[in-house]
Amino acid sequence: MGGRAESTDGRLNLSRPLSLFDNTELGLERAVSGSAERQTLLANNIANASTPGYQPLDVDFHSTLAQAMQTGDAGAIESAQFQPQRSQLAMQADGNGVDVDVESAEMAKNGLDYESLVSVAKARIAILQYSMGSK
Amino acid sequence: MGLFDALDISGSGLSAERLRMDVTAENLANAQTTRTATGGPYQRQEVVLAEAQPNNFQTALAGAVGGPSSGTPAGGVDVQGIVNDPAPGRLVFDPGNPDANAQGYVRMPNVNTVTEMVDLISEQRSYEANVTAMQTDKTMLSKTFDLLS
């Protein structure tokens, strides 16, 4: 993408102009939305813990995003699609595949994941604000 | 797609589990009821749950224009109805009971109080799991709003 300063190896290429919001910022934004989507899916799994025949949903947004970020292309990062997957594993007698303990643990992890992403995003905004002398 | 969706989904889980607890309480309360409006002993009731399809603008638009739905497939849980358990109740020899048949046997409701108590515990735990999910979601939301400060 024109105007982006990253080269494909992820390091800064200072021969091109550096934009205010780079691929890292974009990746952070996409990761936050991926984590929010995952939270929705995990909440759905817990809500359907007693639904006969229900198979749990989950999304691996980390690897999808990692692949997109490897290309170094802002467009690829922006358009990376997080495809939810339905598990086909463990079954109870009624065909339900939800393990509430596993889902709760994943939800706790995802919550921390989300908070760390938001903290990093906040720190980056603080750096920008500082560099602009608005703090 | 959004964090508020997750709150709605957990909310649907809460109301479904509460309804299951209500029905279990009804079964326990009528464990000895031999006479009902429809005649015969009380029949144990059960809640039928199904996965709900998301009903939001994104999926409605995708459905209308025939495009692929890019939204999340998560829509919470849907209560399909309350059905009677058709299993016959046990016969108890009690000639003094006004509902006893000619041989002195009374047909009791098909409610097993032990099963109902176990169901009640599982429903309570599921309810709590949904509350915890809501709390996690609220923490995440407030963290996001923290970005603006």
ipTM: 0.81
Rounded-to-integer distance, Cα B85 and Cα B12, Å: 24
> Is pLDDT at A37 greater than 70 in this prediction?
yes
* Contact flag B74-A49 (C-beta cutoff 8 Å): no
Q: Is residue A81 very low, low, confident or very high in pLDDT (cuts 50, 70, 90)?
A: confident
Domains in chain B: boundaries: 5-148
Longest dimension (CA), chain A: 63
Task: State which amino acid sits at residue A12.
Answer: L
Q: Which of B31, B52, B55, B50 is nearest to B42 (CA)?
A: B31
Q: Reply yes or no on whether the pLDDT at A131 is more than 50.
A: yes
Which stretches within chain B are classed as H helix? Answer: 3-29, 57-65, 113-146
B94 has pLDDT over 60: yes
Top pLDDT among B68 and B147 is at: B147
Q: What is the predicted pLDDT for the residue at B116?
A: 96
Whole-number percent of chain A with pLDDT over 90: 43
pLDDT at A108: 93
Residues 29-48 of chain A whose Cβ lies under 8 A from any Cβ of chain B: 32-33, 36-37, 39-44, 46-48
Q: Is the pLDDT of residue A1 over 50?
A: no
pLDDT in tens, B128-140: 999 999 999 999 9
Chain A residues closer than 8 Å to B139 by CB: 111, 115
**A16 has a pLDDT exceeding 80:** no
- Using CA atoms, how far residue B16 sits from A47, A114, B7, B72, in Å, is 8, 28, 14, 21
Task: Give B50's contacts in chain A (Cβ within 8 Å).
Answer: 51
The answer to whether the CB of B20 falls within 8 A of the CB of B96 is: no
Pick the closest to residue B74 from A12, A32, A7, A36 (CA basis): A36
Q: Indicate whether this model's pTM tops 0.90.
A: no
Residue B12's nearest CA partner among B109, B97, B134 is B134
Chain A positions in Cβ-Cβ contact with residue B133 (cut-off 8 Å): 42-43, 46-47, 104, 107
CA distances from residue A132 to A16, A127, A128, B92, B148 in whole angstroms, order as listed:
21, 9, 6, 85, 17
Interchain CB contact of A121 with B (< 8 Å): yes
What single-letter amino acid sits at B67? G
DSSP secondary structure letter of residue A95: S
Instruction: Determine which of B16-20, B53-57, B84-88 has the lowest per-residue pLDDT on average.
Output: B53-57
